[in-house]
Structure 1
């Protein structure tokens, strides 16, 4: 506690001394709500975290807000860039992620995107499985509110980690063009990666590189009619991003591999070489690995590192994905009277992105166990090559040789995984006031997201074989299938020379091999809210000015997922079509109760509460969530606030299906019932098998439902590695067939807000957050529960044994038995925890005629990020660590500090931002057994990622009332990202860094303009 007091004191002093608090933090939303009231009807006020849209609301939970001015200063092309810089958000850079599906989700507190609810103007963006936050146009965002705490009682399921609410500017009038273009200007300097890549002859870029151009153009129009009663707004937005391959950066010239702790570094290599890899699978040289000599002599050389031999498998991968996106939409409202206002909002997008890589002829092992075959008189084979493959049969017109061929086509038929995402969201309703004290809003949301994934070109096995069977026809190499007429379109494959660039061959092998699978997610959401100010009826505290406010909410949601694929995709990948769905009915009540206002030692004393009941079709039981909040401001300068939320997340439609859909399988014979006798094989061949004591204790077996008289009975044997009862083939594992219960989080926050009257324009807040998540939803295999039961006898594990009356764990798969199996699959897991401090503030210093100087500060101190995976394991804390089970990469401290100067006439502004990310340590050097550390794990190299600091500069000039220009440089110093071998193990990236966390592509330069017509 002493350490915290010192930290809090130093942070407060720091904020006061340099006037550097928060990023448009709305600890008190008075100004925002009041501004909204001035420009919109009262019914349209958006207060994040509450259904009670009362002006001058004071927030009881910490809310971080990002304004439209801040978004423009960041030169952001998409939402993910904005969100990734908020300290409370776990970076999830889909544009720098090779395996991305092109959709952007948001993860608060590192608790997963499925626990963060995304709203637009207080209503859901879409389904949790299918939404894409990048459909929201940055040019029309008024502000983004990030509430980092449970909000299920107000908004329903999914708001376990918090809520991100995008408030749109629906009151725009006129015609406005926003254009932004940015690119990277990075200096590639020789470093560790180029040093390692040198012996492999992998190309390494040097010098200044300008690439990665991205364009963002938006046209917005708005007009009011009939004295402002009819308001219409529309927008169209186009974005395009160029590909930046791994090969464009020295830091990703090859994928660094460290196979042995503190051992030498190597590059990942591939047999899919442009020189062509050939390996006989019969004859005297069977199993020998060759590549075609790149000097063109039609000879084989041994496969290995060196020029023309092993290839760089990832040089063409996307460091920045190529994508093209269209967004369009509009907002309309018709004010009929104070009692009725009709509104409708529509959003649409289409986005195409791709993951490219060179087209290849794959090894026969990708298809099965049958090798390719080449005729021994193939005219492409030199004498030495034919001898190496066919031996004494070289030149024979009837003999064929088995072989493996792997070939990479460089510059031809670029293969790619293509993701085409399309979505529509419509929100509509009617709102108004009635009976003086009451207002209502009845409406809903329809959202439909479709994703078409088209897989990479996968050559046809039969075509490859036909193209290798080549004969000489009048001096022209010709496919035998052309000669005999079985395949007149066959193109000969010269697999025995380097750098084959035959486009006709690539087209023959690859055309028509692109299978497509489609997923359609649909949300139907009906919402009705009635709120009232009971102070109008005299229900007011004798010490307060405002009365009791209440809100009643009823909601219906239906979530559907449909998946299907074409014949090509099914033939290559298998699988079946799906049609999933679930719905929920919910009802809630919320209360705001000011107890005292403008009294001695009680400038404000208020209690808030909410309660919600939910009933999902996928679960037979109802569940409830609630919140309680307290606000106390003894004087206007200081406010204390606290909240506790019981938030719950029901399983998504996919998780619900995984839990309820029965899947049966037979456990291998290496497994034995933990209550059956252990098998002791005979030491002599053919000798008798004896039995020992069971693995589990009698008490643990009793907890599995086994009668004491059956403990250790040989009748329980169903897979002991040596013997099996007649007719049995192993114990039965049942994955699914049971409802998955909601997971529950208790979120507590408490903090203070400083707003001293003697320092006008200054606000500072510090908030402690504690999130305890139990019964989290995840997947567990049978061994997890079997081993856990044997070790602990805990009901958590042992209850997953569902025995027959005779105690056995054997049943016929797919027969839907009620007993005789071990349960597993998607189920409720154990516990997770996140805790820490948020610091925020804002200070605007008036310099009179010189202008204004503003400071925005936002920081997060993570003190706990981990949990407990089972009752038999100890709690673990990953804050500040990475690797092993701590793959979320959570620095303890991170912050943003933006300083903005604006001239008195608002013509010029300059903004300088400092982004800081704290250091990270590999768990190998944690010395903490709870993090799976063991003596001897400590590393001498690559065990620490130092703190990273980035500096951004933005300049803006308003040339006249209608025209302004902006210049921004992010990562001004072109800081090189930290290098990390085996990076895929830590961040699912093969570019030797953590591209979602750090500025991995270097300095970014942006030019933008706003033109009002």
Structure 2
């Protein structure tokens, strides 16, 4: 501990000499509009992002005008807050915004390396991501980590439906990345951070010691280095009419295995409620597992004696291994980002602009190097000669019996973990290109236009392998010649003999692992493309006298037309097909959209109405995947009775069309068998069995069908067949299902927000907002299996459920799937189902306290209270609320309350700054202890151990100095006090991580130290 404190004190001392300023603004913006630059008037709460210095761009609107104020709450993360956090990835920044459900692709074991955003935990498909007001890319292929943190002016997070302004996908809201596209000069930004964590034995170490699993050394450790270097250049020419800038960003992240932390020294399991904790174990050990499949010991499991004596001992957990020790806690990653911005103002009527962004990201996920069990292969077994030169006499006797020492071959099952070699990799190579360009300008007094588009292409190559069973058998087929053991076959390809009959025999045998693995990688390549053409015309009708007689500003309008085409192509090679099946795919859909937006000030600067304004928008959309046209709209109102207080309210009807993948899943038709114990709801139900005392033959006892006669009639069943035994599914093959064949309709959300913004004149520098949000999502797009429709029909008789039964003329539900039957099945697949809801409160506040000669203090608060997160999955199921719960159907939803409070001190000359941030997460409870049957919480499921995660508080510190000559340096410590994450047994079922915690939500690797510097010429 002393060493850790010494490191921190040294860092603080150094930082007083070398640091970059964390300036006044923090994370949130209670005004609802982008944060004002210093010196801006209180009315102009925004940042000018257009050529007209008086126009304010507010996320959530296509209209730019002076004194713009948003009617919906917007949280803004400024460049200063990003710098204070010392973030390398945009992912790190977003995970601290209370309105965003945290995600951590760096820490997921099953991650594909791409970072997407989930507002209100409603799924990334329902969050629209923009760069400077235009789409980042295809919903299925985007990766926000392609955006360099050093070039961000701010990130605007609009939580609430915005489909009427931006189109589909904005059910939960919009995240808009506002870039610094006006940079001049040369700037170099460097950032290096690492984890400085103190490992100390704890609960996991105690449990793991029972298995003999190695644990990390006690004491201070430094690992997980992440480096980021960015070069930015920019220049204005031709009397500042032509501007061009470019950047190159390189970042590298080091691999950290699960075994590097005492909290993840093994994967904790609790197989019985409130039972003892254990560790996940594996038979893949460095001593080697052998199981004869024939002969006197067929089916027995042996371990090679760890003493190396070439004898077998019975397998037991005491000889098992820790399978997850080398799996990534932080995955290795290497990324290049590059891009450019250019604009050329020909005249006020025409300005050409463009933005190009490119990235290449390579990451790996590691798994132990293994000789896999033959059960992993569909065709073939391992064969060993009874005269194998590696077999001892006792081993040959155990495997072969009387055939020991002969040339007879016998089947065996083998499991072996190769140590001292490179672990097996899952490889991800993601690259993408985004080009945005267009022309904008004024074409008449009070009228502006912007015609442009986006082309985005994202390509992912995913490769994984399984050692070749044929090559393993070649390596097993060995012979000894004058004491030298070699392969009998495949020597031309470098066959290396395999010795599975001695402990640790394959240690450091890289050549063997290369031989059995080379050429076996299967590749899947997925290419997502987006073509988006957008035209906007906006006008200030006040120029022509069209305004309220009580307002100074006129009515403003914006007309929008848009065409989008989204496509996905997927290619697999023969190795992939052999490993996982599948085939090539080519999917596409397009949309035409048109919209109108209006802002109408009604009263301005009058008694009891400093501002009264109404806004509205309407958009019509036509998707090629749906025969119908659908529409979205919004209505908003702002009322400021005095300058100090503003009331705001909005209602949005937002609709999301299915993604190209969801549309394909809905329409693509496939058949199969229902292999469980499904029984037609209109057939007699099996209530028991009887046994004939004379013959001993067992017979079923039947009762009434599960569904009523009326419900069965709704499935198309003739009345005379109700309850007939002929409807029973055949016991040998079961009934038939058909997936797909649906037209997936848009889902609809009604988002309502209302709140108040306070800016009291008697306390200059204070701004506070409180907003209530209510999102009701109907006709959610999702996957439903046969039981969803079958149980729903039996319970309600509703056509929504019962129409999914497509019976044969004789009423049965079974047919030959291979014949593409037109009848005789029950449907399942991706379609619209029922309701999701997200309700809560957003609270934001900012206060600047000026200390005269001493400088100033800035306080920045952003909090979110979730009162409802759940919904109702069908009319027959109860409503549920997951706020504050995890597990079961709730997964890893957000806590009820989260907040961030950043306090920044800046000297008057802005030379020195110190920023202290407090992050809070409220407690969470397992659904088993919710006492809510809708969540699965009953008296029987209630636990007395590991059912609650306490509230968590993290503290971050950033210190820095800015030198007048354009040089700055900063040191920061995130999770300053190195608080350990909560322990959760069976964590993979909750968080898709074997780390015994929620790495998406908690700082699971410990304290992070960051040093960054900026040089500008």
The TM-score normalised by the length of structure 1 is 0.94
Distance 1:44 1:248, change over 3 A: farther
Give runs of aligned pairs for residues 906-985 of structure 1, distance below 5 A: 906-985=910-989
Q: Give the alignment partner of residue 709 of structure 2, picking from 698, 704, 709.
A: 698
State the distance in 1 between where 2:31 and 2:293 align.
70
1:302 is aligned to 314
Within the alignment, does 1:489 sit opposite 2:468 as a pair? no
Contact 2:922–2:950 (8 Å) recurs in 1? yes
1:11 is aligned to none
Instruction: Give CA-to-partner distance per residue, 1:57-93, whole Å, 9 cap, x none.
Output: 1110000000000000000000010000001111110
1:13 is aligned to none
State the distance in 2 between where 1:22 and 1:649 align.
29
Distance 1:301 1:687, change over 3 A: closer
State the distance in 1 between where 2:54 and 2:787 align.
55
Within the alignment, does 1:865 sit opposite 2:869 as a pair? yes
1:12 is aligned to none
Residue 875 (structure 1) shift: 0.4
Q: Give the alignment partner of residue 486 of structure 2, picking from 467, 478, 481.
A: 478
1:120 is aligned to 131
2:801 is aligned to 797
State the distance in 2 between where 1:956 and 1:857 align.
21
Within the alignment, does 1:708 sit opposite 2:719 as a pair? yes
How many residue pairs align between the two structures?
Answer: 981
2:41 is aligned to none
Distance 1:412 1:901, change over 3 A: same
Residue 810 (structure 1) shift: 4.5
Q: Give the alignment partner of residue 543 of structure 1, picking from 537, 550, 564.
A: 550
Q: Give the alignment partner of residue 607 of structure 1, picking from 604, 614, 630.
A: 614
2:583 is aligned to 576
Residue 857 (structure 1) shift: 0.2
State the distance in 2 between where 1:98 and 1:668 align.
31
Distance 1:776 1:298, change over 3 A: same
Q: Name whichever of 526-535 and 887-896 sits farther off.
A: 887-896
Distance 1:29 1:247, change over 3 A: closer
State the distance in 1 between where 2:274 and 2:684 align.
45
State the distance in 2 between where 1:712 and 1:295 align.
67
Instruction: Give CA-to-partner distance per residue, 1:612-650, whole Å, 9 cap, x none.
Output: 111110011111111110111100100010011111111
Instruction: Give CA-to-partner distance per residue, 1:463-496, whole Å, 9 cap, x none.
Output: 11121122221111122326xx8x6732211111
Q: Give the alignment partner of residue 88 of structure 1, picking from 99, 106, 109.
A: 99
Give runs of aligned pairs for residues 634-713 of structure 1, distance below 5 A: 634-668=641-675, 670-678=677-685, 683-684=691-692, 692-713=703-724
Distance 1:689 1:758, change over 3 A: closer
2:438 is aligned to 429
Residue 705 (structure 1) shift: 3.0
Instruction: Give CA-to-partner distance per residue, 1:582-633, whole Å, 9 cap, x none.
Output: 0000011111111101111110001111111111100111111111101111
Within the alignment, does 1:135 sit opposite 2:146 as a pair? yes
Within the alignment, does 1:196 sit opposite 2:201 as a pair? no
Contact 1:170–1:331 (8 Å) recurs in 2? yes
2:190 is aligned to 179
Distance 1:675 1:188, change over 3 A: same
State the distance in 1 between where 2:482 and 2:682 align.
76
State the distance in 2 between where 1:669 and 1:719 align.
11
1:10 is aligned to none
Instruction: Give CA-to-partner distance per residue, 1:436-463, whole Å, 9 cap, x none.
Output: 021110010000000000113x111111
Describe the SS at the equivalent of 1:658.
helix
Within the alignment, does 1:447 sit opposite 2:456 as a pair? yes
2:249 is aligned to 237
The TM-score normalised by the length of structure 2 is 0.94
Instruction: Give CA-to-partner distance per residue, 1:946-998, whole Å, 9 cap, x none.
Output: 00100000011013321010000000000011111111111111011111100
Residue 410 (structure 1) shift: 1.2
Describe the SS at the equivalent of 2:913.
strand
State the distance in 1 between where 2:301 and 2:897 align.
51
1:338 is aligned to 348
Residue 675 (structure 1) shift: 2.0
Instruction: Give CA-to-partner distance per residue, 1:179-223, whole Å, 9 cap, x none.
Output: 000000000011000000112121111111100001010011111
Distance 1:178 1:40, change over 3 A: farther
Q: Give the alignment partner of residue 788 of structure 1, picking from 788, 792, 799.
A: 792
Distance 1:991 1:562, change over 3 A: same
Contact 2:246–2:340 (8 Å) recurs in 1? yes
Contact 1:30–1:58 (8 Å) recurs in 2? no
Distance 1:170 1:315, change over 3 A: same
Within the alignment, does 1:401 sit opposite 2:410 as a pair? yes
Residue 688 (structure 1) shift: 8.5
Q: Give the alignment partner of residue 756 of structure 2, picking from 752, 755, 777.
A: 752
Instruction: Give CA-to-partner distance per residue, 1:546-602, whole Å, 9 cap, x none.
Output: 111111101000000000022222222211000000000001111111110111111
1:509 is aligned to 516
State the distance in 1 between where 2:737 and 2:679 align.
12
Q: Name whichever of 173-182 and 508-517 sits farther off.
A: 508-517
State the distance in 2 between where 1:129 and 1:496 align.
48
Within the alignment, does 1:465 sit opposite 2:473 as a pair? yes
State the distance in 2 between where 1:678 and 1:720 align.
14
2:268 is aligned to 256
Residue 807 (structure 1) shift: 4.0
Instruction: Give CA-to-partner distance per residue, 1:715-762, whole Å, 9 cap, x none.
Output: 5x251538xxxxxx6543221112101111111100000011111111
RMSD: 2.0
Q: Give the alignment partner of residue 347 of structure 1, picking from 357, 382, 403.
A: 357
State the distance in 2 between where 1:951 and 1:808 align.
64
Distance 1:37 1:950, change over 3 A: closer
Distance 1:666 1:420, change over 3 A: same
Contact 1:21–1:843 (8 Å) recurs in 2? no
Q: Name whichever of 700-709 and 939-948 sits farther off.
A: 700-709
Within the alignment, does 1:55 sit opposite 2:66 as a pair? yes
Q: Give the alignment partner of residue 326 of structure 1, picking from 336, 341, 344.
A: 336
2:884 is aligned to 880
Within the alignment, does 1:277 sit opposite 2:289 as a pair? yes
Residue 509 (structure 1) shift: 1.1
1:391 is aligned to 401
Describe the SS at the equivalent of 2:889.
coil
Within the alignment, does 1:146 sit opposite 2:153 as a pair? no
2:774 is aligned to 770
Distance 1:504 1:242, change over 3 A: same
1:16 is aligned to none
Contact 1:26–1:65 (8 Å) recurs in 2? no
Residue 673 (structure 1) shift: 2.6
2:559 is aligned to 552
Distance 1:982 1:848, change over 3 A: same
1:166 is aligned to 177
State the distance in 2 between where 1:356 and 1:240 align.
17
State the distance in 2 between where 1:293 and 1:999 align.
41
Residue 38 (structure 1) shift: 8.1
Contact 1:678–1:720 (8 Å) recurs in 2? no
Residue 376 (structure 1) shift: 1.3
Describe the SS at the equivalent of 2:142.
coil
1:992 is aligned to 996
Contact 1:647–1:746 (8 Å) recurs in 2? yes
State the distance in 2 between where 1:471 and 1:438 align.
86
Distance 1:417 1:662, change over 3 A: same
Q: Name whichever of 520-529 and 937-946 sits farther off.
A: 937-946
State the distance in 1 between where 2:26 and 2:911 align.
25
State the distance in 2 between where 1:510 and 1:816 align.
39
